[in-house]
């Protein structure tokens, strides 16, 4: 069964799967396009799902859409909502803007072959669940209302706070100078569950008109759609604190028990050695990758080349290399499809599937496929069956070229012309080098009496 690193336990643990596994993933805040660093997080939950389903385990997934409550400063209890600020900047209504970027996110995840979750609730459409949860926490003594209509979680009523990140209460310091710590709070580390407000994206509640805090949204939606106990919670490592610590406190306090069995986090993605950000000018969208002539699944391939909890430094060279591999493998699979059918190469399947089960060691699984590609002792028909079998987890659409007319990838025509000229001038070293470059693009060249041919 799948073994995966549990951030809270700080060790690799086996997922105790029965007939079904329930998994929650913190979804996007839909105020802008998701960049490829954001999208890496969602590959993690997709891989978990595919590996478990390969073991005939049913996965019920929930991934929220945050369209209200996420302030410009993730750690603040005051400030402007990201959706409202961007809507004003773009001259749209908040919900119009949110739906636009939600659809863009869905299109990007579909292009990366990420399977859609069973439940994808929007925060703006489930505020009643949040109000109900906040009222329960107030009634239990875990939260308190203040005169301006705010409601805060009383973190000192939850002694195990900090088990995910290691940030324990007795070591937490105020985020600001002590003379400006929020006087409404009983303790500086308390956070807002409900915030007063008027205008767009606000609702009536027992404490007055306002909107929910970002952290309470995930607690309310996960408890509603997955129940009081579920097996896996995933997200990027940046949400470990304070978002997941706050979420765990809220959910456990409301239910009286540990709600999540395993907290699983994916590491950061850098681009050209820097964190992806507008200020550094290195934000790369999936549409940028496609505009560069690369298959969007080259992004997925580049991610698979690294463990999910390993920091990844992505570059354009990395993406181009991943694109060449995907195209070459599709070409080889289409070629092997013409051969006599043969059983799976079970030895290669076992090794790759063992890598998947070992904390999602996708780089090791890809190495197995590269060995199989070069192994002349394995029949082409067996290679065909094995590649497609393992592609059920990899999700690279390796069968996409079967039955389709062959189209040269970008740059291949020029290489073929250069190779023809090299052969005419008897420059065999250049001819061999160009043959290798074409093979990297997925173009297999053969020499005949009539000249070179390609497939």
DSSP element (H, E) containing 35: none
Of 94, 92, 84, 77, give the one whose Cα is nearest residue 212: 77
Q: Where do the DSSP E strands lie in 92-218?
A: 143-145, 151-153, 191-196, 210-212
- Cis check: omega of the bond before 228, within 30 degrees of 0: no
HEC string of 369-414 equals: HHHHHHCCCCCHHHHHHHHHHHHHHHCCCCCCCCCCCCCCCCCHHH
Which string of b and e fits 322-358 if b means at least 16 CB within 10 Å? bbbbbbbbbbbbbbbbeeeebebbeebbebbbebbbe
Residue (of 327, 262, 243) closest to 293 by Cα position: 327
Within 168-259, strands assigned E span: 191-196, 210-212, 230-236
In angstroms, how far is CA 240 from the centroid of its own chain?
15
Place of tokens 């409900």: 194
Q: Shortest CA distance to 244 belongs to which of 231, 255, 235?
A: 235
14 is in an annotated binding site: no
244 is in an annotated binding site: no
Tokens, residue 6: 């549990």
Which is nearest to 297 in space by CA: 333, 322, 331? 322
Cβ neighbourhood burial of 376 (10 Å; 0-12, 13-18, 19+) = exposed
62 annotated as belonging to a binding site for a ligand: no
Annotated binding site for Zn(2+): 26, 218, 243, 247
Annotated binding site for ATP, which residues? 278
What residue numbers does the annotated binding site cover? 26, 218, 243, 247, 278
């Amino acid at each position: 069964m799948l073994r995966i690193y549990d951030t809270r336990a700080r060790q690799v643990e086996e997922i105790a799967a029965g007939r079904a596994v329930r998994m929650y993933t913190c979804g996007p805040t839909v105020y802008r396009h998701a960049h490829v660093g954001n999208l890496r997080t969602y590959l993690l939950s997709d891989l978990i799902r595919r590996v478990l389903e390969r073991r005939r385990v049913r996965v019920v997934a929930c991934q929220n859409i945050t369209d209200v409550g996420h302030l410009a400063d993730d750690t603040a209890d005051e400030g402007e909502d990201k959706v409202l600020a961007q809507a004003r900047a773009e001259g749209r209504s908040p919900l119009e803007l949110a739906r636009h970027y939600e659809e863009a996110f869905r299109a990007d995840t579909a292009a990366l072959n990420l399977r859609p979750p069973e439940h994808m609730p929007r925060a703006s459409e489930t505020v009643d669940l949040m109000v109900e949860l906040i009222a329960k926490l107030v009634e239990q003594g875990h939260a308190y209302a203040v005169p301006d209509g705010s409601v805060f979680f009383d973190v000192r009523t939850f002694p195990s706070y900090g088990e995910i990140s290691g940030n324990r209460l007795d070591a937490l310091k105020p985020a600001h100078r002590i003379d400006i710590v929020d006087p409404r709070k009983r303790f500086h580390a308390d956070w807002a569950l409900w915030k007063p407000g008027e205008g767009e994206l606000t609702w009536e509640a027992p404490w007055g008109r306002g909107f929910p805090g970002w952290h309470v949204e995930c607690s309310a939606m996960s408890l509603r759609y997955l129940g009081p106990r579920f097996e896996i919670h995933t997200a990027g490592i940046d949400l470990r604190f304070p978002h997941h610590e706050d979420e765990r406190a809220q959910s456990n306090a409301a239910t009286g028990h540990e709600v999540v069995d395993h907290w699983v986090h994916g590491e950061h993605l850098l681009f050209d050695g820097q964190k992806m950000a507008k200020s550094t000018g290195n934000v790369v969208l999936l549409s940028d990758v496609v505009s560069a002539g690369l298959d969007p699944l080259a992004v997925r391939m580049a991610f698979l080349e690294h463990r999910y909890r390993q920091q990844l430094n992505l570059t354009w060279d990395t993406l181009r290399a991943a694109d060449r591999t995907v195209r070459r493998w599709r070409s080889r699979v289409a070629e092997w499809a013409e051969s006599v059918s043969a059983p799976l190469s079970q030895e290669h399947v076992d090794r790759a599937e063992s890598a998947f089960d070992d904390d999602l060691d996708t780089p090791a699984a890809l190495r197995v496929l590269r060995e199989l590609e070069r192994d002349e002792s394995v029949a082409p028909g067996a290679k065909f069956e094995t590649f497609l079998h393992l592609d059920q987890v990899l999700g690279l659409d390796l069968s996409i070229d079967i039955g389709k007319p062959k189209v040269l990838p970008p740059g291949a025509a020029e290489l073929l012309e250069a190779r023809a000229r090299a052969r005419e001038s008897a420059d065999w070293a250049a001819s061999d080098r160009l043959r290798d470059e074409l093979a990297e693009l997925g173009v297999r060249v053969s020499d005949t009496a009539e000249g070179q041919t390609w497939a």
